[in-house]
Structure 1
Amino acid sequence: MTGNIRPSRPRQPERPVRQENLRTLNLELVFRHILAAGQPISRTELATSTGLTRPTITRIAEELLAGQLIAETSLTHNGRAGRPRVGLTLSGRGPAGLGLDIRADALAACVVDLTGTVRHLAFTPSTFAGRSAPDVLTRLAHMARAALDAMAAEDLTVVTATLAVPGPVHDGIARSAPELGWRNVDAGALLRGAIAPLDLPLTVDNQANLAALGELYASDNTLDSFVYVSGGLGIGAGIVVDGQLMRGARGWSGELGHVTVHPDGKPCPCGSRGCLQTYASLQAILSDAPVPGGATPEVTVTEHAEAGSPATLAALDTAGTTLGIALADMLNILDIDTILLGGSFSLLASWLTTNIRAEIAQRVLSTAWAPITIRPALLGPDAAVIGAALTSIDQIRQHPTAWLTRPPSRSPASPA
C-alpha cells in the first residue's frame, strides 16, 4: 500500500539555557521537590534529591520564603544529637485560590491555600427559576467579595478565581445550560463586572470537569483514571485518564446528560428527546413533588426515599437504570474501571448503585475479566467548588515564578 504519510510535527529548535532561565528552572525544581515531599524536608535533603549545591538550595529557599510560598518548621532529631533540623514545607499564608459554583440549590464559594487546605467554604441557598444570569452572578460576586475580605484578614492573597457552571464552556462563555435558562452567556464578563473594581483574574469552566479535578487532587495520586458523574442541575461527566482531564477537541467532552437512553423518549430542554437528563436528573426524580421551604432537592428526595415513597423509589430505580445504560456505553469506549458518583448523586448513591451496577455488568464487555468500581465521590456535593479553588491555586504550584515575579499591587480584597 502506498500513499502520503503526514510527517510528524517538527520539534521546536532547542535554545541555549540563559542564566535567568537556569535560575527559574532550578527554583521550580526545588519547589516541586518540596511539593512532592508531602512533609517537611531539610535543605540537606533537597541538595541530595535535586543534585544542586547547598548554597544554591539556600538562595532558592530564601527566595521562596520571602514570597510566602514555603515556610520553615522544625524536624525531629531522628535519634541524632544536636539541634533539631529546620524543614521546609508549603506555606499556609500567601497565595490562595477562589472557587465559585452554581449548584442545584445554592451558590457556593471556597478558598483553598497553597497546601490544599480549605480555608473558607460558604453557601447561599438559591433557586434559579425566573432569575436572570446577571442576577445570579451578582449574588455570587457578593460571596466572592466576602471570601476575599475574610482571607485578607488571614494574610492570604487570592490570586485567581474559577467559576464552575453546569454546561459546556468555550472561551469563557457558557454555551448551553438549559437548567439555568442560559445560552451563550458570557458568565466571565458578567461576573468580572459584578466584582469590579477588584482586579481579580477569572476563568470559567465546566462544573463536572472541575469536580473531577477536585477528586483527582483529593485522591493524592492514588486514583489516576476514572469517570466522575455529576448530578445536580444537570448531569455531566468529568473524564480523567492517566491523571489528565479529557476535555475533547473543543472542550465539550463529558456531556453525559445528553446521551440518548430512549430514542423516542421524553423531550429534553436541549431540543432532543430521550436524553439521560430527562430520566436521572434531580428534577426528573422529583417530578412534580414540591420541595418544602428551607429544604434542598437532595434532602427532599432522600427523605421521600427513606419514608418508602413508591413514586420516589420508582424514580430512583429509573434513574439508576438509565445511568447504568449511559455509563456502560462510555466504559465500553474508554476502558476505565472506576466511576465516582458526585454532586447530588453522592448523597443518593445507596439507591442508585445497584441498578447502575446491574446495567454495567450486562452491557460492559470487560466486566467478565475486570470488575468496575462504583462509589460516591470523596468530596461529595462540594467537589466542583473545591476543584475550582484548587485549579486556581494549581497555577501557582505549576509556575511559582509567576507569583514571585508579579508586579506589586494592592491585595484583591483592597478597595480600588
Structure 2
Amino acid sequence: MTAPPHDARPTGRARALPDTQQGMRRRNLARVMHAVSAEGSLSRAAVASRIGLTRAAVSTLVDELIRAGLIEELGPERPGRVGRPGSALAVSGHGPAGIGAEVGVDHLAVCAVDLRGEVRARAVRHGTNRGRAPEPVIGELTGLVRQVVAEAEREGLWPAGLAVAVPGLVARDGRTVVRAPNLDWNDVDLGPLLPDAYSLTVDNEANFGGLAELWLVEDTPRDFVHVSAEIGIGAALVVDGSLLRGTRGFAGELGHVPVRPDGPACVCGGRGCLEQYAGEEAVLRAARLEPGGDRVGLLAGRATDGDEDVRRALREAGTALGIALTGALNLLDPEVVVLGGALAGLAPWLLPSLESELARRTAGPPCPVLVSRLGPEGPLLGAAHSVVRTVLDDPVAVSGR
C-alpha cells in the first residue's frame, strides 16, 4: 500500500483543480485512486461506499483508470460474501513509477517505486561529495537515475517524475539549492544539471523523511516533529498532516539552532550549533574515534560493547538535541517527536538524556519520542513516494502519456 487510509489526500504541492465539471471529474478520479491505493484491493461497490459516489459513477471512473493503465482488475473477490461477487481492483504494478534520488554528504542513492509502494529498482554509490562541485556530483547521480529507470522499464514501468532529496535549504521553486553547508553548495539550480525528460522536484532531505513517516508508517499522528541526522541535522515540522515550510521554505533547520552560543564554529557561520554536538562527525570527535565508512555502525558497536567514551559522547549528543528541540516543542506543541536517519540507529544511547532534557525544559507534559522504523531510508523513500502521490492526486495528468 502506498499510504495509510487516514492520509488519502493531496500532498500540498499538487496543482489545484478548477471548480468545473472537468475539475470535479479529475478530483473524483483521484479519490478512487487513493481509496484503492490505501486498501490494497477493493471492489467497485466498496469504493463507492468509501468515497460516497454511486456505483454507476464509480464504475465509469474505474473503467477510465483501467484504460489508462493505472488500475487493474484482479478477478472475483474472495468467496463467502453475500450476493454476486464483484471484481477486486488494485492500483497497477506497471505503468507510472516515482523516481526518488538522494544527494548525501557521503553517498548518492536512487530508487524506483511503483504505484503500489513497492521499491522495484535501486542503485547506490558511496563516496564523499563534500567540497565537490555540483556538476560532477549531479552527473554521477544522473547515471544512477538512468540505471534505475532502465531497470524499472524492463519491469513495465516508466518514470512519472524525479524527486531529489538534498541536505540543505531549497527555494520554493523546488529546484534551487540555496545553501547546503556540508556540501559547500550555494545557489545551485539543479534543473539544468538533471535530465530534462523528467518532471523535477527538489526538497530538503528532512522534509522528505518526514513525509515518508506520514505516508508509510501506520498510526503516525498528523502533528509531529521528525528529526533526521547524518553529518548534518534537519527537522520536518508536520502540522495537521502538512509540512510547515515557512515563508521562504527554510523551516526545520534544527541543526543550526545554537545550544551553546560560545561553542565551536559551525560551517553555517554561527557558533555552538546543534550539529557541533549531535552530528555524526561531532559525536565521533567527542568519542575520540576516527570517521569510517559506517559511522553509525561504529558508534553503535562500540556503545554496545560498553565503550564509555562513546556512551558519554552519545549522552552529551542527546542532551544537546533535547536543548535544541525544546524551543520547537514549546512553540508547536506536537503530538510526538520522531527520530530518523542516523539518530534511529543510536536511539538506545541518545534517548535517556534527550528525554530527560525535554522533561526538564518543556512547559507542558513530556512529549513522547519515537524511533523511526524507516531510519536512514526515509528521505529516499519520501522522495520517490512524493512522485507516486502526484499520480494519485491527479491521474489525468499522467494518463495521456
TM over 0.5: yes
Q: Which residue of 2 aligns with 1:391?
A: 386
1:372 aligns with 2:367: yes
Shift of 1:207: 0.6
Q: Contact 2:104–2:129 at 8 Å: present in 1 too?
A: no
Matches within 5 A, 1:240-389: 240-287=238-285, 289-292=289-292, 295-367=293-365, 371-389=366-384
**Pairing partner for 1:34 from 33, 36, 45:** 36
Q: Contact 1:349–1:375 at 8 Å: present in 2 too?
A: no
CA distance in 2, matches of 1:325, 1:26: 46
Q: Which residue of 2 aligns with 1:6?
A: none
2:290 partner amino acid: P
1:81–1:63 distance in 2 versus 1, CA, 3 Å: closer
Q: Contact 1:103–1:233 at 8 Å: present in 2 too?
A: no
Shift of 1:43: 2.1
Which range moves more in the overlay, 117-126 or 90-99?
117-126
Task: Give the secondary structure class of the aligned counterpart of 1:109.
Answer: strand
2:386 partner amino acid: T
Q: Which residue of 2 aligns with 1:136?
A: 137
Which range moves more in the overlay, 178-187 or 45-54?
45-54
1:225 aligns with 2:227: no
Q: Which residue of 1 aligns with 2:176?
A: 173
Shift of 1:104: 4.3
2:388 partner amino acid: I
Q: Which residue of 2 aligns with 1:9?
A: none
CA distance in 1, matches of 2:181, 2:268: 6
1:400 partner amino acid: P
CA distance in 2, matches of 1:265, 1:52: 60
- Larger radius of gyration, structure 1 or 2? 1
Q: Could you tell me which runs of 5 or more consecutive residues in structure 2 were left unpaired when the two chains were aligned.
A: 1-17
Q: Which residue of 2 aligns with 1:3?
A: none
Q: Which residue of 2 aligns with 1:85?
A: 86
CA distance in 1, matches of 2:376, 2:225: 16
Task: Give the secondary structure class of the aligned counterpart of 1:203.
Answer: strand
Q: Contact 2:260–2:272 at 8 Å: present in 1 too?
A: yes
CA distance in 1, matches of 2:28, 2:334: 37
1:258 partner amino acid: H
CA distance in 2, matches of 1:187, 1:216: 26
> TM-score by structure 1 length?
0.85
Task: Give the secondary structure class of the aligned counterpart of 1:184.
Answer: strand
Q: Contact 1:95–1:157 at 8 Å: present in 2 too?
A: yes
Q: Contact 2:97–2:115 at 8 Å: present in 1 too?
A: yes
CA distance in 2, matches of 1:110, 1:220: 22
CA distance in 1, matches of 2:98, 2:273: 35
CA distance in 1, matches of 2:266, 2:179: 13
CA distance in 2, matches of 1:394, 1:334: 27
Task: Give the secondary structure class of the aligned counterpart of 1:365.
Answer: coil
Which range moves more in the overlay, 132-141 or 357-366?
132-141
1:41–1:307 distance in 2 versus 1, CA, 3 Å: closer
Task: Give the secondary structure class of the aligned counterpart of 1:41.
Answer: coil
Q: Contact 2:165–2:203 at 8 Å: present in 1 too?
A: yes
Q: Contact 2:27–2:394 at 8 Å: present in 1 too?
A: no
Q: Could you tell me which runs of 5 or more consecutive residues in structure 1 were left unpaired when the two chains were aligned.
A: 1-14, 409-416
1:160 aligns with 2:161: yes
CA distance in 2, matches of 1:307, 1:16: 62
> TM-score by structure 2 length?
0.88
